[in-house]
Amino acid sequence: MTLTAPTATIGLDTAAELAAQLRVDSIRSSTSAGSGHPTSSMSAADLFAVLATRHLRYDWDDPRSSANDHLILSKGHASPLLYSLFRAVGVISDDELMQGYRRLGQRLQGHPTPALPWVDVATGSLGQGLPDGVGVALAGKYLDKQPYRVWVLCGDSEMAEGSIWEALDKASYYQLANLVTMVDVNRLGQRGPTDLGWDVDAYARRAEAFGARVLVVDGHDLTAIDNAMTTAAEPSGDRPTVILAKTVKGRGFSEVEDSNDWHGKPFPPDMAERAVRELGGERNLKVRGPQPEPSAVDGSSPTSDPAARPVTTQPTEPPTPARYDLGQKVPTRKAYGDALVVLGAQNPRVVALDGEVSNSTYAFEFARAHPGRYFEMFIAEQQMVAAATGLAVRGYHPFASTFAAFLTRAYDFIRMGAVSGVDLSLVGSHAGVEIGPDGPSQMGLEDLAMMRAVDGSTVLYPSDATSTVALTQIMAVLPGISYLRTTRGKYPVLYPEGESFPIGGSKTLRSSDQDQVTLIGAGVTLHACLAAADTLADEGIRARVIDCYSIKPIDDEAIAAAATTGRIVVAEDHRAEGGLGSAVKDSLVTAGRPTPSLTHLAVRGMPGSGSSKEQLAWAGIDADHIVSAARDLMRG
């Protein structure tokens, strides 16, 4: 039987049948795969059945329609439920559900990813779906200005994650009435009861304290669920809605209901057969709920291409690009802010976010020039990256900035952004011991290693204002996760306006046919390398100097050419592990050429407070130490 309800007229009796089918198919698919989470799927089946038949406005034949609602499965381990819904609406076949789930090379992965066009973001690392949903809802309210709603299904276990409460806090701050969070309160986590169990009143008090409108329902009472979703879809003024649904894990199969023994375990075939029989057998119901209402701010029909949608925020008059004179001392963080303002005027799909340090990262310049496209996330770095991810889902290109050290808090969100395949530009300022007296809590010393490890990432570290501007421009069109490391202090401009800085390239600033040693730096240490080269020249030692502004990908040809000098000194304001030195060594090993004598200068102890000059000397990465390292190699 196939039913379509353009105006959500499918009855709750049909929703009940669909809920049973979703439970049956969750069991069948996980048993067939030999792994999965059937009981976590069964508890939320009634929520999904009512939502899909009566409230989710979605054109399943056009998943990229800008008018569609969004459905995010934050409890990604319940993927059997989501995939069973996809079968019920007719976008995947029963054969794919049974033969493709959790199999190598198939798109029905153990946790959902955008390999499926009906999935916005990868989930499964708990506590991320709702924060991502905040980003999608921000786009809907402030940029797209479309009436779509964002529905997020959370599990009760992930309500212990601080990122969930960061998300509700920001959803309330930005008055995201278009965001509906459904919490499957089934009492049981992976190893036993959750911290609050079935205490829905405690959940309600917490959600209300963060500014949400809260609706508490029996998660297996279809009428109550329907009424709650109807209320959630109604204008609520300025508040997001949280539906707390008290449910039973394994609902529908008496042998496992509310049992602590079946989390993440498929039923053996004989048990699955009993479960399907108790649920009334297999079904082949095909149901599609309400269609979205065509709507666009310019009166035209919505387009399926996010990049072609109208942008309602009007760009300001194009600003005059900043100009820097050779030798002028400019912090690269300031050049980033200058570049972002111009980029925002050139590209209306560029948006910016910051973690309440915009007067240090210079993102405040974008906020002042383009206030409608700037989102302050305060001291909530996880939510900052998640909101950027959600905005990217809607076709915008976000630049998110904070201190480099604080991006470590958001690393799980960064890696999941890579799994989601979104394009994000991240900017970390105040990197390294160079920042001086603030001390180690503020010093980004692990960021290059962290970002190099992200799949498909691009890692950039400019040394002057000109290269910063050029690389910021390039980042707006880079695929995947890109990272720009900026410096706190003022350093001389090295390159003329208009100089090209291709990704994967480098700049050789000193060279001759008689080079005896190569000095490799980036950012602050490049300036130290240049000073060291001048000192060495006075001693009759010719030194090549390379600016490795592109750390991933690195310029393999330049590194190979450097190896011909027979001696290399790499200096970086970063931990010894995983940064510029590791990238250089990896390049040499991969090339398979004879490895030259190499000295790697990096931060190898725990810094304290002191001036920038003192810190660089303490770490052994200033010009004097580079000179000493080169002399030692010459003697060796």
Q: Which residues are catalytic?
A: 381
Interior angle at CA 505, CA 502 and CA 506, nearest 5: 120
How many other C-beta atoms lie within 10 A of the C-beta of residue 411? 18
Cα–Cα distance measured from residue 250 to residue 261, given in angstroms and rounded to the nearest whole number: 11
How many other C-beta atoms lie within 10 A of the C-beta of residue 234? 9
Question: Which residues in 317-350 are b (16+ Cβ under 10 Å) and which e?
Answer: eeeeebebeeeeebbbbbbbbbbbbbbbbebbbb
Whether cis (ω within 30° of 0) applies to the bond prior to 553 is: yes
Cα–Cα distance measured from residue 520 to residue 545, given in angstroms and rounded to the nearest whole number: 6
Cα–Cα distance measured from residue 473 to residue 475, given in angstroms and rounded to the nearest whole number: 6
Q: Map tokens 């054969």 to a residue.
A: 95
Cα–Cα distance measured from residue 400 to residue 460, given in angstroms and rounded to the nearest whole number: 15
Cα–Cα distance measured from residue 219 to residue 226, given in angstroms and rounded to the nearest whole number: 10
Cα–Cα distance measured from residue 271 to residue 256, given in angstroms and rounded to the nearest whole number: 10
Q: How far is CA 141 from the centre of its chain?
A: 20
DSSP designation for 142: I
Cα–Cα distance measured from residue 306 to residue 292, given in angstroms and rounded to the nearest whole number: 16
Cα–Cα distance measured from residue 22 to residue 9, given in angstroms and rounded to the nearest whole number: 20
Nearby residues of 131 by Cβ (< 8 Å), 6 or more positions away? 163, 164, 166, 167, 382, 383, 386, 387, 390, 413
